[in-house]
Structure 1
Amino acid sequence: MQMTRKVVETRDGLPFLISGSGTLGWDQVAANLVEPGENVLVLQTGYFGAGFADCIKVYGGKPKVLKAPYGSHIGLEEIEVALRTKKYKAITITHVDTSTGVLSDVKAIAATVRRTSPDTLVVVDGVCSVGSEELKMDAWRLDVVTTASQKGLGVPPGLCILVASPRAIEVFEARKTPVTTYFASWGKWMPVMRAYDNKTAAYFATPPVNLIRAYHASLSEITKLSPSLDERYRIHKQVSRRVKALADQLGLSLVPKDTAYAANGMTAIYLPDGLVASDVVPRMASKGITIAAGLGDAKDKYIRIGHMGTSVVDAERGDIDRIAKSLQASLNEAKNAKKAVVEETP
């Protein structure tokens, strides 16, 4: 519990460690903090922002979506104008939208919210950012940070990790309507988490013991060993610049339109004309490198490469060198295969 607090930099936030994917964090926010009919401002910089809005709607909330053009971020002025138009119970920010690789400036957005609409809860979806992007829950006055085990935290998937500020807990405890979820109810989980905090036993549902042990091992490395958190962020930025420079050398464009708003733990790269993701992803896999196709309407036009956690921090593994060599070779193979098909066509 204390190491979870340390990795998101909070002193008094309450962690919730629950079996489930990162999507369960959306359910926790929508079911416990948003009451039916309440407005939520959702910043959408890709597929996952849209999913958060859908989840809020399921529980009776009224999401207002500010949608950025594909590959772009949402400006502070647009957010401030929206906040002045009506009262919002919460604003949701996808720190890194995994579908596009767009990085949102959580610090600046949170400051804008506090200045413009101080009662609005600031909720951060940090599934693709915690552990690889700078995030300071207390200093930036964030109310909820929700994440998952499988990305920057370096643990197999299946553990939803959420940290709620004291203010968020107060809002939950003051709600006027019943929570409309059973498994994701903070009313069920809060006594368990407080017991864990006090190093005593409590039970609501079976915890994923194997994942908790793996999470403990990973957090022990992240929070207690070298490099420090700040140094980890610096290394992620350094490696990110290297991967993005590689894309440029290969004549490829990034999905994020502005590198200042491009994630440091992953890179989304458009493929050359004539190639689609299925031409490249299997070829990379044959070389021992797992990457992903895009998501959404343009999913076949680009690929997504993760570079976070151990693959970045432990340079002796040589993972980034392998990615660079494999990507160049896979692109050449795919182009040659397409060329051969054209030449053979009568």
Structure 2
Amino acid sequence: MSSQAPHSTLLIPGPIEFDDAVLQSMSHYAESHVGPAFVKVFGESLTLLRKLFQTTNPASQPLIIAGSGTLGWDIVSSNLIEKGQDALVLHTGYFGDSFASCLETYGAKATQLKAPIGDRPSLSEIEQALKQKSYKVITITHVDTSTGVLSDIKAVAELVRRVSPETLVVVDGVCSVGCEEIAFDEWDLDVVLTASQKAIGCPPGLSILMLSERAINRFKSRQSPPASYYASLNNWVPIMQNYEALKPSYFATPPTQLVHALHTTLTQITGNVAERFAVHTKVSDRVKAAVAELGLTQLAVKPENQAHAMTAIRLPEGITPPDVLPGLTKRGVIFAAGLHKEIASKYIRFGHMGVSVTDPARNDIDKAIAALKESITEAKKAKGL
């Protein structure tokens, strides 16, 4: 049983429920961020990230920086592409628009390749786009939490290396790292950015990235200075290299308690990464089967497009999120409303990742499925449907 205070189970696409040991790590006493004990924890956390991302290349560089997942966009946009250069953004929902906006903020020219809601751009469409102009980066949202769409990172990366090998492959893995397979070396990726509060299973507040040697060399060959101070790789890469070598270093003060929590969860989840991915897939299949049994559909209709971290559930005609979400809350479960602005009133989002999925002592998923069934039935009756 959890030692946490009683609370409704949080099953949104992040933040997620936390393991007791992770939260207890947050109560660590105050310590110096350059003291040997903390430097060891930070250095080990960076090394554990290599295991999670499946990279053994010493030239790749993990980063742990105070900030949200959105900071990862700024790091890419202000370091790896310059003003006036072209970026191709694969759009599978809200976060494609947002990444494009971030790139444009720093002066890049972002071209979005958009798919219908619930779908993803085809490989043939991507190939055609890559042949039209020279893109410095291509960005892909691995799991777009506004639609529940899963992108095929491996296939896209293979295509880019064949058609436009100099284009950096940038993966927004905020809602995928820790529950969807990412083989950084094998798939020849350049950047994967994520955050602490989703499938990694840590409280919010850490921006986490993995950079390839190719990405770092691209930064070093810039013709103009980085467009950000806090997000500059000039400032962060040496710090991370020193920490991983267990040498004290300073640019900006890290959130020491959060890093302890991250170290705890990374130690837990990297014990058997393949098994962790398999458990998320199994639970996702179960959730999606339960949704189908209720006569409901998903935004992502094609099975190959469906994320394993969450499910975006279309509501019955005449039912909106405010008709269903209070019923779920009343039953001790919190889902999220729709996020995609074009159809926000037509669906809800069920996040199923991290400890709610992997801890056999918890009944979060059973509870959520039962609550969903009861809340949908209740909403239909209230509407006379």
Calculate the TM-score normalised by the size of structure 2: 0.86
Distance in 2, Cα, partners of 1:282 & 1:16? 39
User: Which consecutive unaligned segments of at least 5 residues does structure 1 have?
Assistant: none
SS of match in other structure, 2:334: coil
Distance in 1, Cα, partners of 2:373 & 2:319? 14
| 1:338 Cα deviation after fit | 2.4
Distance in 1, Cα, partners of 2:168 & 2:253? 30
| 1:162 Cα deviation after fit | 0.7
Distance in 2, Cα, partners of 1:312 & 1:155? 15
1:261 matched to 2:308:
no
SS of match in other structure, 2:100: helix
1:302 matched to 2:352:
no
SS of match in other structure, 1:145: strand
Of 285, 299, 317, 2:329 maps to: 285
SS of match in other structure, 2:87: strand
1:10 matched to 2:55:
yes
SS of match in other structure, 1:177: coil
Q: AA paired with 1:273?
A: E
Deviates more, 1:286-295 or 1:262-271: 286-295
The number of equivalent residue pairs is 337
- Map 1:79-118; keep pairs closer than 5 Å: 79-118=126-165
Could you say which residue in structure 2 is the equivalent of 1:137?
184
Distance in 1, Cα, partners of 2:253 & 2:342? 38
Q: AA paired with 1:184?
A: A
1:233 matched to 2:269:
no
| 1:57 Cα deviation after fit | 0.3
Q: AA paired with 1:120?
A: T
1:63 matched to 2:63:
no
Deviates more, 1:36-45 or 1:290-299: 290-299
Deviates more, 1:241-250 or 1:286-295: 286-295
Could you say which residue in structure 2 is the equivalent of 1:46?
93
| 1:332 Cα deviation after fit | 1.6
Distance in 2, Cα, partners of 1:203 & 1:334? 55
| 1:185 Cα deviation after fit | 0.8
Deviates more, 1:182-191 or 1:137-146: 182-191
CA distances 1:169-193 after superposition (whole Å, capped 9, x unpaired)? 1110110101111111111111211
CA distances 1:287-316 after superposition (whole Å, capped 9, x unpaired)? 221210111221111011011111111122
Of 176, 188, 213, 1:166 maps to: 213
Distance in 2, Cα, partners of 1:282 & 1:127? 27
| 1:257 Cα deviation after fit | 2.1
Distance in 1, Cα, partners of 2:180 & 2:269? 13
Q: AA paired with 1:300?
A: S
SS of match in other structure, 1:316: coil
SS of match in other structure, 1:88: coil
Distance in 1, Cα, partners of 2:345 & 2:207? 29
Could you say which residue in structure 1 is the equivalent of 2:270?
223
1:76 matched to 2:131:
no
- Map 1:184-223; keep pairs closer than 5 Å: 184-223=231-270
Calculate the TM-score normalised by the size of structure 1: 0.96
Give every structure 1 segment of 4 or more consecutive aligned residues whose post-TM-superposition deviation is greater than 4 Å: none
Distance in 1, Cα, partners of 2:325 & 2:247? 47
Could you say which residue in structure 2 is the equivalent of 1:337?
382
Distance in 1, Cα, partners of 2:314 & 2:162? 38
CA distances 1:175-220 after superposition (whole Å, capped 9, x unpaired)? 0101111111111111211111111111111211121111100000
Distance in 2, Cα, partners of 1:291 & 1:206? 34
Distance in 1, Cα, partners of 2:126 & 2:61? 28
SS of match in other structure, 2:231: coil
1:157 matched to 2:204:
yes
Q: AA paired with 1:254?
A: Q
Q: AA paired with 2:350?
A: I
Q: AA paired with 1:210?
A: Q
Distance in 1, Cα, partners of 2:202 & 2:344? 26
| 1:282 Cα deviation after fit | 2.1
| 1:337 Cα deviation after fit | 2.3
Distance in 2, Cα, partners of 1:135 & 1:325? 32
- CA RMSD in angstroms comes to 1.0
Structure 1 vs Structure 2: percent identity of aligned residues? 53
Distance in 2, Cα, partners of 1:51 & 1:42? 10
User: Which consecutive unaligned segments of at least 5 residues does structure 2 have?
Assistant: 1-45
By relative contact order (CA 8 Å, sep 6+), the higher-ranking structure is 2
CA distances 1:121-153 after superposition (whole Å, capped 9, x unpaired)? 000000010011011000000000000011110
